[in-house]
Structure 1
């Protein structure tokens, strides 16, 4: 037996010493006891039985070893949604919400529009857009069937019936003649030899969803090259990328004939999303 607050303090120290965030311990305890983190602070004097402590300590040990909290709990908040995640998908990040915001600014609030999310993973982008634009027809693709299983499950839990899922590598997943009003993607954009791939949470996320060639831009090149054939005149392409890649991605879009090319920044003021429009 151990008091809840004592167990959390002990876990926080372990997580901090491993280079993590102390709040990770709170989230893991909340997951184990089936409550939210606010409940923990009001019930610190609760006594935990041996089984609960064993499950908590096992999760803390895995977090100290580097596994992302989202994989340990199987959940991650994104936009206004609570999404299931697994090691088959990237963990959705707050930076990607900027891509969703920019896409919504370019989609009418009502009306029948078609949206394509390439490399959907857990479905974060596609489901956020489908939620905010219920009249839209959203197509979500991924090369991983395991990832699509997670995304489909999220769509079902959210009762979103305006999303279709297709397996395949980028545009191979859709019909050759399919066109869309907007294409969005958070593709792999880390260089193959980037040392960060072997550090922190990235060690446990699918490498195929992170790395893309010598400069990290191979998949972005493929998407830019094919997007024009699948956008209606005046349609938009939005790409998330690394904070040092804005110049390079703008050059790719301009060279491919896109207009109104621009790079938007995230909340920390870093280049995050580059977009362009197929000329009308």
Structure 2
């Protein structure tokens, strides 16, 4: 694993200089891109802007702005940590984008990266026949899916559920960030255990779904994330099996279940050949997200 040595601080002056330098260093070090970006330039840009306390602007004058020595040292330190410690950019900046929205994140939660964000932006059309009154984000982590749903459906009550109290603390900080107290609330629950008697028009979940083989071969960046949010048994389906066994009891008659299982989708189809999974497609990339209607789940029981 390549490590970053001291950069030529006095030779790099502008934002563009540092973004270009950072991207070159990330490429040379062979870091893994899989936490919201897929290239070195975008990651380097995020680190530079965070170090100088600015957000991206399309104004090209930003790229020519000169950095103070203090700012240059801050950028160099961030790039060094990204390379030497293999920490995802979102943990270094404390923020990640999801569905076009910024969310606070840290090592207590997975870095938001689900393609479900694209479904939220489309308000789950054509899968929802009417605007949902109650939504459940199961295995919420940072709360990004449920909070984005709350903003898309301002009249809906949204429950963010997770087994981890640490994750729920992060989710609650994001509820506060978007001033959604009263519309969105958290419930600590192992699956549906803490949600007895509650029913929803829409259940969305990005549960742990990484199988044992993939988990063992993951790049080091993923080792920074809480393992409870990744692995789910030998075939990646331990938690999804629980969802499929119990979701029907928590859906209204017209309710919809949407779950991400990633690379475990083939194992899921083999394990549940009787279920009519609808596999959703994405314009911006992503796979392994299925939709089931409440009636399909009940018919299979």
TM range (shorter): 0.7 to 0.9
Aligned to 1:80: 100
Q: Whole-Å Cα distance in 2 between the matches of residues 22 and 196 of structure 1?
A: 28
Deviation of 1:86 (Å)? 0.8
Gaps of 5+ in 2: 1-9, 32-39
Q: Whole-Å Cα distance in 2 between the matches of residues 123 and 228 of structure 1?
A: 23
Distance 1:40 1:74, change over 3 A: farther
1:202-260 deviations in Å (ceiling 9; x for gaps)? 121111101100011111001111111111223211111114x33443566665xx6x6
Distance 1:55 1:269, change over 3 A: closer
Q: Does 1:205 align with 2:219?
A: no
RMSD: 2.5
Aligned to 1:227: 247
TM-score (norm 1): 0.87
1:36-56 deviations in Å (ceiling 9; x for gaps)? 344795245544333222221
Counterpart of 2:279 (choices 250, 257, 263) is 263
Counterpart of 1:55 (choices 74, 79, 98) is 74
Counterpart of 1:154 (choices 168, 171, 174) is 174
Provide the aligned length of Structure 1 versus Structure 2. Answer: 274
1:81-230 matched pairs, under 5 angstroms: 81-93=101-113, 95-100=115-120, 104-105=124-125, 106-107=127-128, 110=131, 113-161=133-181, 162-174=183-195, 176-194=196-214, 198-230=218-250
Distance 1:219 1:3, change over 3 A: same
Q: Does 1:34 align with 2:53?
A: yes
Q: Does the 8 A contact of 1:142 with 1:168 survive in 2?
A: yes
1:167-205 deviations in Å (ceiling 9; x for gaps)? 12111232x211111211001111123256530531211
Deviation of 1:15 (Å)? 0.9
Aligned to 1:242: 262
Aligned to 2:20: 9
Q: Whole-Å Cα distance in 1 between the matches of residues 151 and 193 of structure 2?
A: 26
Gaps of 5+ in 1: none
Distance 1:72 1:254, change over 3 A: same
1:101-126 deviations in Å (ceiling 9; x for gaps)? 5763244665x611111000111110
Q: Whole-Å Cα distance in 2 between the matches of residues 207 and 88 of structure 1?
A: 10
Secondary structure of 1:267's match?
coil
Distance 1:37 1:164, change over 3 A: closer
Kindly indicate which of the two structures has a greater share of residues assigned to strand: 1
Deviation of 1:82 (Å)? 1.0
Q: Whole-Å Cα distance in 2 between the matches of residues 136 and 44 of structure 1?
A: 41
